[in-house]
């Protein structure tokens, strides 16, 4: 009897195994794609459940201790704790504004008033882009539309922590500063700032304070020994030499792979198309581009920015996964085939610093165009850092980085004029040269009137 039972179980096992093997024989998609678990993308940290607040984050926050004493907080390992705590306090103020039931009255503030607020004990929050106020309403107010909020788009805000309890919003669309008096000061934020000051963090300076120019819109550090940024190697998330991986990736874009044609071009790019609805192209660098032929079947009720972001994040999650430290870099309205849509650009960070791709400085890691709730274009070029090592030398001083740009723009010989810098911050660059193990190193990103430059922050050479 027992023997019979064992035989039955063995038989069931063999039948199941034969099913699995038959499926592998007949489908071009490998079984690991069908069985959930490890995805075709190596190293991805995709999550089905996502929270908008994880993607719409400040590019940086600056804590002003009063006068010419400031420090910058980014979401890196050294200051993440403070970043999170300070941002939690800022979020509470935003919730009061966007979700609170109280009557709030904004007034227009002068530039001098705003400058005075920044010089006092305060916290500045800066976003990478002037995001539509509707995004903040969704983020902090659950989508409630408060008519008393005059901002069309928010580029940043300043919360004062001294006697003058107010929030100043920088509306990047109307180029106006709006002020809101707060009923009481945020004591927890005040305590946090005091605690941070006691720890003597790295000081940041405006170009005006340094004497470089009259610009005081951003901050740079001058104590470069405080930074300990590693260099490393990264690999593309898609192994383009493995056809099975590419086929598996394609299968997530097309519902019926039996009608999909696969074309391999001379340069190694692979194109998948069903000739009816969409085209997917993956080149040898791992750059993926998906385009739909028809914009029909969209939902006119989902033409707003928040629906577009939601659709984009769902799409990214399903098609490659959401990379770690992904954030919304830009959200702009576009017109596609006469229809109103949104172009959403996402980038990701390494140790809190944004990634730049050599040769693709203007492109983002992930770009999604959404028209009426439907993704009509999707590009993706993501790398994962696999190895990192500490470098035993200080980073290049920002003035030295400006010298590199000056030499590059005005040619050899003679005295160079100072580049008119509009923005400057540290980031990471991926050199996509070679098939595998791409170099990753810290860079200075410098935006001038003549364009954007990146300078190797260890070697002092112009990268792009």
Partner 1 sequence: MFRKGVIITVLILILVFGALTPVQATPRIVELIKPITDIKTVNKNMIVSGWAEADTKLEIRVYSRVAKKVGDQEVYDWEEYVQPGKEAELVVGPTGFFAREVELKNGVNKVVIKAVNAEGKEEVTEGLVTLSSKEEVRDAVRNLMNFNFLDLIKEIIK
Q: For residue 24, give Cα distances in angstroms to 15, 31, 145, 253, 255.
A: 14, 6, 52, 20, 18
Alpha-carbon gap, residue 6 to 219, rounded angstroms: 73
Q: Does 426 bind partner 1 (CB under 8 A)?
A: no
Alpha-carbon gap, residue 426 to 102, rounded angstroms: 40
| Closer residue to partner 1 in complex, CB, 328/402 | 402
* Chain residues 43-72 in contact with partner 1, contact rule CB under 8 A: 67-69
> Could you give the strand order of the β-sheet that contains 153-160, starting from the edge strand earlier in sequence?
106-109, 176-181, 166-171, 153-160, 122-132, 60-64, 70-73, 204-205, 220-221
Q: Give min distance, CB of 119 to partner 1, in A.
A: 13
Q: Does 406 bind partner 1 (CB under 8 A)?
A: yes
| Closer residue to partner 1 in complex, CB, 222/462 | 222
| Residue among 200, 256, 267, 335 that touches partner 1 (CB under 8 A) | 200
320: left (phi over 0), alpha (psi -120 to 50) or beta: left
Site string for partner 1, 97-116 (x = CB under 8 A): --------------------
Alpha-carbon gap, residue 178 to 156, rounded angstroms: 11
| Closer residue to partner 1 in complex, CB, 105/199 | 199
Q: Does 458 bind partner 1 (CB under 8 A)?
A: no
Alpha-carbon gap, residue 410 to 412, rounded angstroms: 7
3-state DSSP assignment of residue 163: coil
Q: Which of 269, 272, 275 is nearest to 250 (CA)?
A: 272
Q: Give min distance, CB of 222 to partner 1, in A.
A: 4
Q: Does 119 bind partner 1 (CB under 8 A)?
A: no
Q: Which of 291, 237, 245, 246 is nearest to 265 (CA)?
A: 246
Q: Does 418 bind partner 1 (CB under 8 A)?
A: yes
Q: Give min distance, CB of 329 to partner 1, in A.
A: 30
Q: Does 209 bind partner 1 (CB under 8 A)?
A: yes
Q: Give min distance, CB of 403 to partner 1, in A.
A: 3
Residue keyed to tokens 């405006």: 206
3-state DSSP assignment of residue 193: helix
Alpha-carbon gap, residue 233 to 378, rounded angstroms: 26
Q: Does 215 bind partner 1 (CB under 8 A)?
A: no
Q: Give min distance, CB of 268 to partner 1, in A.
A: 42
| Residue among 223, 333, 423, 450 that touches partner 1 (CB under 8 A) | 223
Q: Does 397 bind partner 1 (CB under 8 A)?
A: yes
Judged by CB under 8 A, the stretch of 104-112, 135-143, 298-306, 401-409 that binds partner 1 is 401-409
| Residue among 38, 407, 423, 437 that touches partner 1 (CB under 8 A) | 407
Q: Does 222 bind partner 1 (CB under 8 A)?
A: yes
| Closer residue to partner 1 in complex, CB, 194/243 | 194
Q: Where are the beta strands (DSSP E) in 33-84?
A: 60-64, 70-73
* DSSP string across 322-347: --TTEEEEEEEEEEETTEEEEEEEEE
Residues binding partner 1: what is the number (CB under 8 A)? 26
Question: Which chain residues interact with partner 1 by CB under 8 A?
Answer: 67-69, 200, 203, 205, 209-212, 222-223, 225-226, 394, 397, 399-400, 402-403, 406-407, 415-418
């Amino acid at each position: 009897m027992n023997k019979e039972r064992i035989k039955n179980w063995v038989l069931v096992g063999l039948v199941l195994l034969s099913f699995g093997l038959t499926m592998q024989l007949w489908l071009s998609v490998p079984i690991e794609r069908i069985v959930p678990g490890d995805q075709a993308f190596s190293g991805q940290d995709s999550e089905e459940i996502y929270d908008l607040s994880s993607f719409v984050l400040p590019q940086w926050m600056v804590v002003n201790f009063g006068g010419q004493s400031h420090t910058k907080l980014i979401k890196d390992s050294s200051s993440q704790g403070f970043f999170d705590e300070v941002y939690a306090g800022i979020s509470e103020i935003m919730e009061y504004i966007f979700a609170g039931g109280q009557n709030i009255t904004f007034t227009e503030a002068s530039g001098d008033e705003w400058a005075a607020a920044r010089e006092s004990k305060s916290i500045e929050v800066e976003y990478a882009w002037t995001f539509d106020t509707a995004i903040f309403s969704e983020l902090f107010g659950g989508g409630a539309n408060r008519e008393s909020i005059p901002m069309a788009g928010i580029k940043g805000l300043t919360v004062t922590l001294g006697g003058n309890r107010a929030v100043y919003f920088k509306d990047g669309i109307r180029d106006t500063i709006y002020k809101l008096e707060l009923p009481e000061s945020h004591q927890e934020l005040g305590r946090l700032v005091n605690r941070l000051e006691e720890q003597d963090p790295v000081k940041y300076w405006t170009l005006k304070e340094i004497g470089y120019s009259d610009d005081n819109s951003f901050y740079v550090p001058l104590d470069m020994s405080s930074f300990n940024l590693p260099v490393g190697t990264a690999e593309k998330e898609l192994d383009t030499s493995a056809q099975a991986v590419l086929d598996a990736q394609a299968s997530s874009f097309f519902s019926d792979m039996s009608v999909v044609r696969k074309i391999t071009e001379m340069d190694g790019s692979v194109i998948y198309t069903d000739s009816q609805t969409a085209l997917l192209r993956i080149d040898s660098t791992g750059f993926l581009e998906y385009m739909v032929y028809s914009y029909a079947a969209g939902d006119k009720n989902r033409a707003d920015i928040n629906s577009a972001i939601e659709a984009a994040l769902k799409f990214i999650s399903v098609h490659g996964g959401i990379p770690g430290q992904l954030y919304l870099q830009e959200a702009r309205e576009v017109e596609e085939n006469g229809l109103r849509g949104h172009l959403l650009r996402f980038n990701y960070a390494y140790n809190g610093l944004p990634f730049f791709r050599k040769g693709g400085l203007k492109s983002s890691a992930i770009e999604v165009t959404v028209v009426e709730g439907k993704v009509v274009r999707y590009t993706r070029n993501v790398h994962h850092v696999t190895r990192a090592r500490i470098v035993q030398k200080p980073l290049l001083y920002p003035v030295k980085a400006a010298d590199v740009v000056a030499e590059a723009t005005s040619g050899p010989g003679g005295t160079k004029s100072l580049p008119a810098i509009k923005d400057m911050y540290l980031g990471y660059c991926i050199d996509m040269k070679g098939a595998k193990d791409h170099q990753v190193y810290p860079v200075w990103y410098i935006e001038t009137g003549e364009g954007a430059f990146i300078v190797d922050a260890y070697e002092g050479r112009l990268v792009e």
